[in-house]
Amino acid sequence: MATDIRHQPENGYHSEPTQPSLRENLNRRSPMRLQPTLTTLETWGFGLTGPLLWISGAPAIHAALGPQAIFVWLPATIVGMLLNFQMQSLGRKWPEMAGGTPNYTARLLNNYPWLGRYGAIGYFFSWLSVPTINALIITALIQANLKPLGISCPEILLQIGFTVLAFIVAFSGTRALSILHLCFVLPAVGFLLVFCTQGIGWLLLSPASPGFFPDSWPSFSFVEWAKWYFFGAYATYACETAASFVADSQRPGETLRFLSFVAWLIPIPYLAGSWVLMRLATEPGLQDDTFLNLLSAAKLFWGPWASFMVTLLIVAGCLLSSATAVSNTPRVLYQLALDGHISPVFGVVSPRGVLGPALLLTFLLSLICLAWGDIGRLVMVGTSGGLSAFTIAHLGLWVRRDRPEVLWPWWSGGFFLVETVVLIVGGLAWNWQDLLIGLLLPIAILAVDAAIRHSAFPPFHPAWWIKLYRGQSYRITKDFVALQVGILIFLICSTAAIAWVIRATLDGLPADAANNLLIVLVITVGFVGVAVACWTSLPQVVSMNEAREGAEQLFTIALDAIVVLDETGVIRQTNPAAESVFGIGTTGLLGHPLNKLLPGLAFEPDRWPSRSEQTLNLPDRDSRILEVAISDRFSQNASLSNQGMQEYVVILRDISDRKQAQESLQKANEELEIKVENRTSELTHTVQQLQNEIEERQRIEENLRAMQNQIVVQEKLASLGSLTAGIAHEIRNPLNFVNNFSELSAELTEELFEKIENQAQRLDPETSDDIAELLTDLKANLKKINQHGQRADKIVGNMLLHSRGQSGHWEATDINSLLAEYINLAYHGMRAKEPAFNITIETDYDNDIGEVNVVPQDIGRVFLNIISNACYAAYKKKQEMGAEFSPLLDVRTRNLGDAIEIRIRDNGSGIKPEVLDKIFNPFFTTKPPAEGTGLGLSISQDVIVQQHRGELKVETEVGDYTEFIITLPKKVAEIRS
């Protein structure tokens, strides 16, 4: 699984016919795919994170450059807008691709995979450092507000808590994180836009305005411009985050269109907001403090609410960018794994949409960044990786300038040159060591990936994660409502208690400091509350939703009519098949008592038999005969069981054609009996006439029975044969290839051996002996391959035999051979489900049985059902008892003269007395819902008793054994007459 398989994507850049398509590679490399579960609004929420990055970068740039900062933001804004439009075009080309910009870059540079990987990992690390940086910023903000109280701030705990918080939600599924993100991002972006537009309006219209334009424009050098463009460019370029979520969007086109909206939104914070800071944040001593700069500008037009609003902006911006980071960084690794650039383990996703391996690596690297703890150097290193990624992206656009989806290739080439200069000049102007670390970190991460790829540690391979995810089950808690109420009470009480204590502590603080700490508390509690819900309520809600969807799907696609009745027998729900059976629309059936449509049923549902045949008489429609199976009474809701609100599920099948065939057969028999009586007086006539009558009778009888059996088989087993045959044929093709080429290889090896023997005199004896030994081993191995291939082919042949059950012909059959084939088929079927399954099989066949006239396909299905149940029972007991228990299957046949007896016995846990009389009822099963349908033994009884006029019994001892005894008559033709 860890082999680095390269491919050329299906993107139009190469047309070699031997290259696998992108979709084939995706399916081959990721057994579990990222599903399109996010709504359009949720992906838009992630796309709004970019403008919030202005909050953390703008104060530092304006503190250093003053009015000249606008010349940093202006080109960065233009390039950022163009980049959004470009990513929108690439997203339309590859709508199946997750991760956005870095993965588009890797696809563009598919001829230079090492460069594409490097750029994608650089982008990955730039976002990876965001949760740590934000945790440090929020902790510093809390510390600054607690300082006037003389309260020491638990820095380490807060830093770890704010770093881990977003990951806790992310590990429960992207949907939870996206909904949480959407709830907070709309007010946060709204306040940011108000800050920018209201600030511009105040500058233009207020009498107290210092003027819209500055009095002077200080000069600055190119090196200083490059130094700050180093940061400004990354902030504006990172506004394309919506592209990362196109692959798991329910409406990818709408998500891509949002990139245009964000592109036109970029100038508001990055130009208008920067202008407000430039003109209003002019107090001395502000330096590069984000809070003080924003507060200095906002208090002129927000007044006393400025401190509260600025704190809300900073805290919400930090937590929201962290949420975006833990969402899009795993998608970068996921898509790189699908495209074969990194280890396949990062391409595994859980059924709930959690990119476990990729998210875990992101979390561990974030903790390493937190251990470093230097926010300035982390920003520098992260920006170095991010800017290098965008530089490589512009290079990729220029390299693929001949493609229609690349919009401005020559402009991209120019941006690449400018960004390369900025990366070198600006990075060196800051710190050459941090620049070097930022450029080397992607190589270090790729080295870690190479170690993972070649490691034998199970969690480093997809199979381990797939087994883990498939083994997870979220069962619906019985007292789910009580659990939710308890959680809600806990959250409300704990929040109130914490707020009470903190408010009491804050009474001595200035109003602004108190409000600041309270807004931090409120937003943090909101995130923590969602995190608690994600690990408690969300799995229950998802499990109930999945169970409901599965039940609705089965209910809708069922071929038989299904109606749900209340406790009085009134129809409350129907499926589409019921309309065709009754000839009445759903509206007409709802609210109608079933016993009015089927008069043969009693008035009270409690008195209805579990299985019966009823006559349907409706005006303007022929009379129909329905087979009716009704479930035991159950409560729709456990809490309603004491109120008598019960329901019944009734399954109805139209058997009119089958009954007509039976009546035709009975009528034909009566007519034949009359003919025989009338011909008794004519026995003296020729023997030939009597023989002709007998043959005519047998021919009519055989035709009628064939018609009857065909109806039964078509109703019960129509879909099983085609499915088994399709699978068997698909397996047989590669098996034939293995068998044929192993034989051919053996022949070629023999010829090679003869040629070497002819040339033996030219080789020294030792070399000749080594070659002979190698060829001998090769022939032996090829022989083993052929033997095992033949064995597999025999299994497939059994599957094909099992699948050809639609004709229903009676044949003289060797029961012993048929039993052996289905024992083998059942054993391998169990092994396919449970690789650890093993069982001892003992057989005792009576060779005097001879051939018996049966329908081999139907009898084979009976054998398969009973033997599979026996293997399942023994396997379950093995799981309970462990190594001290040895599973055993005992199969015996015996000649009874005019009949044969077949005994199939297992040493499982036996059948409890309370369920023994129900095992042949349709839909009754003791297996979990995903492992049994409850139809196997019901169908088996029909085949043995009704079709073959035999007998099916069961003997059992709880905790010891279960034995099924099948008795089949030999002279079926006489019985059928």
Q: How far apart are CA 590 and CA 574, in angstroms?
A: 8
Could you state, in chain order, the average pLDDT of each consecutive group of 10 residues for the chain (977 residues)?
Answer: 36 38 42 77 86 84 85 93 94 91 92 92 90 83 68 77 81 75 81 91 89 80 88 88 90 92 93 90 80 85 82 80 88 92 90 86 90 84 91 94 92 94 91 90 92 90 84 53 50 56 55 58 63 58 61 71 83 82 79 80 77 77 80 51 63 80 81 77 65 74 62 51 60 68 72 74 73 77 74 63 58 89 84 82 89 86 88 88 88 90 92 84 70 72 87 91 92 48
Q: For position 441, what pLDDT does the model report?
A: 92
Q: How far apart are CA 101 and CA 78, in angstroms?
A: 17
Sign of CA dihedral 451, 457, 463, 468: negative
Residue 46: what residue type?
F
Sign of CA dihedral 770, 772, 775, 781: negative
Report pTM: 0.58
Q: How many beta carbons lie within 10 A of that of residue 581, not counting itself? A: 20
DSSP secondary structure string for all residues of 119-158: HHHHHHHHHHTHHHHHHHHHHHHHHHHHGGGTPPP-HHHH
- Comparing CA positions, the residue from 344, 418, 351 lying closest to residue 387 is 418
CA distances in angstroms from 128 to 330, 470, 548, listed in the order given? 9, 29, 38
HSE (side-chain half, CA atoms, 13 Å) at 273: 27
**C-beta of residue 964 within 8 angstroms of C-beta of residue 900:** no
Q: Which two tokens stand for residue 245?
A: 């979520």
Q: What angle do CA 533, 536, 542 make, to 5 degrees?
A: 90
Residue 441: what residue type?
L
H or E element, residue 955: strand 951-957
Q: How many beta carbons lie within 10 A of that of residue 786, not counting itself? A: 18
Q: Which two tokens stand for residue 619?
A: 């005006």
Q: For position 30, what pLDDT does the model report?
A: 45
**206 three-state secondary structure:** coil
Identify each DSSP E strand in 634-692 by its residue range: 634-635, 646-654
Q: Which two tokens stand for residue 766?
A: 């030792």
**C-beta of residue 55 within 8 angstroms of C-beta of residue 310:** no
Q: Which two tokens stand for residue 863?
A: 């054998």
Q: Which residue has the tokens 């109703």?
A: 715
Q: For position 185, what pLDDT does the model report?
A: 83
- Comparing CA positions, the residue from 385, 343, 349 lying closest to residue 127 is 385
Q: For position 531, what pLDDT does the model report?
A: 58
Q: Strands 634-635 and 611-616, how do they pair?
A: unpaired
Q: How far apart are CA 609 and CA 791, in angstroms?
A: 48
Beta bridge partners of 852: 813
HSE (side-chain half, CA atoms, 13 Å) at 891: 23
Residue 630: Cβ-neighbour burial (10 angstroms; 0-12, 13-18, 19+): buried
Q: Which residue has the tokens 């807004």?
A: 519
Q: How many beta carbons lie within 10 A of that of residue 685, not counting itself? A: 10
Q: What angle do CA 743, 748, 753 make, to 5 degrees?
A: 125
Q: For position 1, what pLDDT does the model report?
A: 34
